[in-house]
Structure 1
Amino acid sequence: MNVLIVEDEELSAERLQKMIFGIDPAIRVLATIPSVLETISYLQNEDNTQPDLIFLDIHLEDDNGFKIIESQNLMIPIIFTTAFDEYMLRAFRAHSIDYLLKPINPLELQASLLKFKKINNASHPTSNSHIIEAIQTIRTPEKYKDRFLVTAGSRIFSFKTSEIAYFTIEERATFLRLFDGRHFAVEYSLEKLVQMLNPSDFFRINRTLLISVNAIRDIHTISAGKLKIDLEPTTTHEAYVSSERITEFKNWLGK
């Protein structure tokens, strides 16, 4: 079986690929692609091996993953892998096999692959109409993420968003830091976290810091175009609001 992974988070893509190989070493990952345009280019190139199955994230670095389906009138089976549950109904109306929420559970991934193989081996086409009807009975999900699942070694933790003081980039990886001082790696970039979190509670002050309003201990005016923030718990490096975000930051504080 040939699969294509469309995912703009490098850590998420690597983790997904490892899980796929762990479930079935015979599966061949043709490519890992981070954007809509690159995916369309790959699928349109007749010299490229076409996938039997696509793992598709929804929020990609340049656009919405559904644009790939719409622009190509795509009929290749898809397993959606995303941090957002509000697209579930739309996903099942596409040519989808399953809808997995990040962080992806290996057992759920295994079940999705088994489902694909059963469908692929069946002599009749699959209909998702019964799935759509079931989803329509579910209440509309909350817009913003209120819990994060993280792993540390063999342990799994779940934290409320209200327990998180800030997210930071360290050595090209993203970490969350709790108010109690503990920190854990997460699979999301700050760009994606901004989309996932309630903007009333979190603000990205610069390229490497996304902070909770409750983590702000003090604010210092260094110059007309520079603000320094004391956070609790403290950061490894001093936290500054970038000059282009100062006006927006002040408006955010005044909400």
Structure 2
Amino acid sequence: MMKVLIVEDEKHNAGKLKRKLQLVGRDIEVLDVTETIEETVNWLKNHQEPDLIFLDIELSDGQSFEIFKRIRVDCPIIFTTAYDEYALKAFELNSIDYLLKPIKEEELSKALAKLENLKKSLGGKLQSHGAFFEKLLEDLKSSIAVHQPKRDRFLSKMGQRLVSVDLKDIAYFFSRNKISHIRTKDGKDYVLDYTMDDIQQMLESTRFFRLNRQVIASIESIDKTNFYFNNKLKISLIPVFEEEVLVSRERAAEYKKWMGE
């Protein structure tokens, strides 16, 4: 019986992966599903290490590579990712497996077979180390920066008409009830047919920052940054966002660097 941990912050994606694992015809037990860096680290500290982890890169409280800085993980990892074909070369070059979302059953089966073959050829357990994942992350970022086309406008459907919104007019992007929106500098809102992960990959990282799962903000929209409980940061935006905007403690250092620290 192969014991598996799924790390995925989208419940429907985790559910689909669990169902497909049941269909691939292998003896697999999904031990649990964790949704954040914090939850995953705590789970690994308090449970016996699984035989395999399916790991999403972008989690609600940051990139999952942070997990390996906080705890040693010695079991194999199969990444699940929405990154494009160019970025995936970073995974191939580093000899690690991945599954591109939406995950296909046949690709899942191939990845599991590859894992079994690698374990046999190496005579036992595969190991993962923090430095390895840091190098992978740098290669991934470099590949994205070179190949990912950036947007200078977005198209929104407003009833029976289409509206083109220039990037220079956008204060921030936000998600509400699983629908992505634009809020412009003059306070207008537009609906987008993209996920927040999709939008993040379309933006220049020097100008826009993923504050949390719900908000991607431009540098010009940041009004105030205050320290908050448990080393988090509380952000005030212009125009005002109706809900509390917090940056997790895991992402706080990256945010301060982005702001010019």
Which TM-score applies when normalising by structure 2?
A: 0.52
Correspondence list, 1:227-242, <5 A: none
Match in the other structure for 1:218: none
Correspondence list, 1:207-222, <5 A: none
Matched residues in 2 for 1:38 and 1:60: separation? Answer: 11
Which TM-score applies when normalising by structure 1?
A: 0.53
Match in the other structure for 1:104: 103
Match in the other structure for 1:42: 43
Deviations 1:185-240 (A, max 9, x none): 98x5x3x344233379x9x9xx9999xxxxxxxxxxxxxxxxxxxxxxxxxxxxxx
- Change over 3 Å in CA distance of 1:102–1:111 after alignment to 2: same
Q: Is the 8 A contact 1:4 1:30 kept in 2?
A: yes
Q: Is the 8 A contact 2:7 2:33 kept in 1?
A: yes
Q: Is the 8 A contact 1:97 1:112 kept in 2?
A: no
Match in the other structure for 2:112: 113
- Change over 3 Å in CA distance of 1:17–1:123 after alignment to 2: same
Q: Identify the match of residue 195 of structure 1 among 200, 209, 214.
A: 200
Match in the other structure for 1:53: 52
Q: Percent identity?
A: 33
3-state secondary structure, aligned to 2:38:
helix
Q: 2:148 corresponds to which letter in structure 1? A: K
Matched residues in 2 for 1:27 and 1:105: separation? Answer: 17
Matched residues in 1 for 2:202 and 2:175: separation? Answer: 17
Q: Is the 8 A contact 1:17 1:29 kept in 2?
A: yes
Alignment length (residue pairs): 178
Larger radius of gyration: 1
- Change over 3 Å in CA distance of 1:244–1:70 after alignment to 2: closer
Gaps of 5+ in 2: 129-134, 159-172, 182-192, 217-235, 242-261
Match in the other structure for 2:255: none
Q: Which runs of 4+ in 1 moved over 4 A?
A: 90-93, 125-128, 161-170, 172-176, 207-210
Matched residues in 1 for 2:26 and 2:150: separation? Answer: 33
Match in the other structure for 1:3: 4
- Change over 3 Å in CA distance of 1:97–1:199 after alignment to 2: closer
Matched residues in 2 for 1:199 and 1:165: separation? Answer: 23
Gaps of 5+ in 1: 147-160, 177-184, 211-242, 249-255
Higher relative contact order (CA 8 A, sep 6+): 2
Match in the other structure for 1:31: 32
Q: Is the 8 A contact 1:6 1:55 kept in 2?
A: yes
Matched residues in 2 for 1:91 and 1:75: separation? Answer: 20
Q: 1:119 corresponds to which letter in structure 2? A: L
Q: Is the 8 A contact 1:169 1:208 kept in 2?
A: yes
Q: Identify the match of residue 143 of structure 1 among 139, 142, 148.
A: 148
Matched residues in 2 for 1:199 and 1:105: separation? Answer: 30
Q: 1:76 corresponds to which letter in structure 2? A: C
Matched residues in 1 for 2:15 and 2:179: separation? Answer: 15
Matched residues in 2 for 1:127 and 1:33: separation? Answer: 21
Match in the other structure for 2:78: 79
What's the RMSD between the two structures over aligned residues?
Answer: 4.6
For structure 1, which segment, 28-37 or 69-78, has the greater mean C-alpha deviation from structure 2 after superposition?
69-78
Q: Is the 8 A contact 2:37 2:59 kept in 1?
A: yes
Residue 124 (structure 1) aligned with residue 93 (structure 2): no
Deviations 1:50-71 (A, max 9, x none): 2100000111111211111232
